[in-house]
Amino acid sequence: MNFKDFDKKSAQEIIQWAGKRFGQRAGLASSFGMEDMVLIDMLAQLDDVVTVLTLDTGRLHEETYETMERVRSKYGIHIQTFFPVKEDVERLVRDKGYFSFRENVDDRKECCAIRKLEPLKRALSGLDAWITGLRREQSVTRTDVPKVAEDPDRASLVKINPLADWTLVQVEEYIQKNNVPINPLHRKNYPSIGCAPCTRAIEPGEDIRAGRWWWENPEHKECGLHQTR
């Protein structure tokens, strides 16, 4: 299969293919931002059942949990939730405190590794493909995101990014047209939402990822979930 052929296909076509090809062996890794909500709405229209999973780092916004519940209620979707290993979190907080991630990039990546990467590894262990809401327009670290490709860090997995070529305007138009629920933080100038201590609202004219790890340079603003090479 030539994955490059998928770059010509629409998001809906790719979602339909993923459902038929992998079924529950495909998982949407969702943080319940706008892009993920678009994908959930598309998945809910399929005859094939695709897994929806999320990582609860223990430091999410209350609004994110509220959004999860709206998804469960509106779409009747079961959300598989994965948590970090309790002992690892306890060790990190005991040794380095509650905000070590603001000290430097290495400490921030250590926190992400414990709270996000290890749970993601467990979440993906039973899957053949994972679906994300990555878009090329989001940041300088994502400009070459393909729509479908082998995961460079997980050779047994196919990584599917149906919205790779979508603009923010397209995302917003889909949400409005299809009455898709969104995280209330988006209406408070939070275009990108992660852990509460690592996310802030952006100012007019700022990059849409400016509110994530705002104390770091743009080229460092990935947690390791989505490596680029």
> 148-151 and 154-160 as β-strands: parallel, antiparallel, unpaired?
antiparallel
Q: Which of 111, 112, 195, 223 is catalytic?
A: 223
Q: How many independent structural domains does the chain possess? A: 1
pLDDT for residue 4: 84
Name the band, by pLDDT with cuts 50, 70 and 90, for residue 35.
very high
Name the band, by pLDDT with cuts 50, 70 and 90, for residue 169.
very high
Q: Residue 111 pLDDT > 90, yes or no?
A: yes
Q: 209 lies in a domain?
A: no
- Which range, of 58-67, 181-190, 215-224, averages the lowest pLDDT? 215-224
Per cent of the chain over pLDDT 70 is 94
Q: 210 lies in a domain?
A: no
The DSSP string of 189-218 is T-SS--BGGGB-PPPTTS-TTTTBSTTS-G
Q: 207 lies in a domain?
A: no
Backbone angles phi, psi at 16, to 5 degrees: -60, -40
Tokens for 222, please give them.
């990935």
Buried b / exposed e over 131-151, threshold 16 CB at 10 Å, is: bbbbbbbbbebbeebbbbbeb
Q: 211 lies in a domain?
A: no
Instruction: Work out the burial of residue 42: count CB atoms within 10 Å of its CB; fewer than 13 is exposed, 13-18 middle, 19 or more buried.
Output: buried
Q: What is the domain-level CATH number for residue 72?
A: 3.40.50.620
Total-model pTM: 0.88
> 148-151 and 129-131 as β-strands: parallel, antiparallel, unpaired?
unpaired
Place of tokens 């790779």: 164
d(CA 47, CA 95): 49
d(CA 158, CA 161): 10
Q: 41 lies in a domain?
A: yes
Range of the domain at 132: 3-183
- Mark whether 223 is an active-site residue: yes
Q: Residue 227 pLDDT > 70, yes or no?
A: no
Q: 215 lies in a domain?
A: no
Do residues 72 and 185 lie in contact, with contact meaning Cβ atoms separated by under 8 Å?
A: no
Q: 223 lies in a domain?
A: no
pLDDT for residue 219: 60
Q: 213 lies in a domain?
A: no
